[in-house]
Amino acid sequence: MSEAWFCYTILFILACLFSASMALSAYFVSRREVYLGIMAFFLIFCLETALILLDEYSYLKPSTREGVLGFPFLHPWIKLALSEVFVASVWWVVLEFIERRTWMRIAVPCALCGFVQTSAILLAPDSRCAQWVFYGVRDVCVWASLGYALRTYRVHADDALRRHLARYRAPFLAFAVLVGLVLAEDSLMMYFFAPLITDMSFIYHLSERNMCENVAVIVCAVLVVRSAAGTLTVRFHEPPAATSTKIERRAHDQLSRYASRHALTPRERDVLALILEGKDNQNIASSLTLSVGTVKAHVHNIYRKADVSSRQQLLQSFWRED
């Protein structure tokens, strides 16, 4: 194994581990369960890449062109287990984003994917077709999750959720395109480039990897690190006041979703917006031309609907759901 491929593989594993640790840290701060799915996503890629490194470093992978063209299925059951967790993590993240996560919606695609992959392993072991089906059905499952998210966005999402999801339109399209390129690269590698392998050549090392998949993971890693860093900068024990343009923008984007999720009335939403600015009941009453008693009633209703008992807890709840 060349030094370049070794360093590349180690760096990729480190990038996955770093992204997974950032996601786990963000989960502990925010308790947003989407970060658990993200963590699992990167851990699976870390383990799959580690298996590739193990095979090449310990010479478990055939070292000749003829051996590679036999398409030996190394560690099939370990790869099946990792693939199942991968599919579950993708559906977990997508369903969390569109706020429709249930165990049934995760179990069904995992079961279908597992059935097809198990059939490929049992019926056509160590064959080109088996490996193409094994990885192809996984890509199809990812596409299906994106298609389900798109359908939900168009049919079921309310205005607040629609505005929230619209912010991720560019990453969504980029990821969908990259998944298509992953499937195309697998097909080209197995049915076109594999016969061109010479012993220990560049294509030899590429045969166990998918560079489009690696690019997709790196793009996701950048997005996750940015998101997790933004979450970690929010101090939940001392939630931020809207004293900067960036914080004001985040509060404005989150306000409609939070109000919709907790069924706040328009007036309660106005009161919440002023609470986020750090105003007390007297200043809120002056700003909205209400009596202090009316403001207190609105604040009490907001507490009840958000299931909190103080302004501190309300601010923590608001930023935690961002």
Give the chain's domains with CATH numbers.
Answer: 3-233 (1.20.1070), 245-320 (1.10.10.10)
CA 167 – CA 261 distance, rounded (Å)? 18
| HEC assignment per residue over the chain | CCHHHHHHHHHHHHHHHHHHHHHHHHHHHHCCCHHHHHHHHHHHHHHHHHHHHHHHHCCCCCCCHHHHHCCCCCCHHHHHHHHHHHHHHHHHHHHHHCCCCCHHHHHHHHHHHHHHHHHHHHHCCCCHHHHHHHHHHHHHHHHHHHHHHHHHHHHCCCHHHHHHHHCCHHHHHHHHHHHHHHHHHHHHHHHHHHHHCCCCCHHHHHCCCCHHHHHHHHHHHHHHHHHHHHHHHCCCCCCCCCCCHHHHHHHHHHHHHHHHHCCCCHHHHHHHHHHHCCCCHHHHHHHHCCCHHHHHHHHHHHHHHHCCCCHHHHHHHHHHCC
pLDDT of residue 71: 67
In order along its 322 residues, the chain shows pLDDT tens digits of 577 888 888 999 999 999 999 999 999 877 889 999 999 999 999 999 998 888 877 766 666 666 666 667 788 899 999 999 999 999 999 999 888 889 999 999 999 999 999 999 898 877 778 888 999 999 999 999 999 999 998 888 788 888 888 888 888 999 999 999 999 988 887 777 766 666 656 666 666 778 889 999 999 999 999 988 877 876 555 555 555 566 667 777 778 888 888 889 999 999 998 888 888 899 999 999 889 999 999 999 999 998 888 888 888 788 776 6
Q: What is d(CA 134, CA 116) in angstroms, rounded to the nearest whole number?
A: 7
183 and 216 Cβ atoms separated by less than 8 Å: no
CA 260-266-272 angle, to 5 degrees, is 80
Question: What is the structure's pLDDT at 212?
Answer: 87
pTM: 0.74
265 CB-side CA count, 13 A: 10
- Residue 254 to residue 217: CA distance in whole angstroms: 27
Q: Quote the CA–CA distance of 190 and 186 in Å, as a whole number.
A: 6
pLDDT at position 206, please?
67
Residue 244 confidence (pLDDT): 55
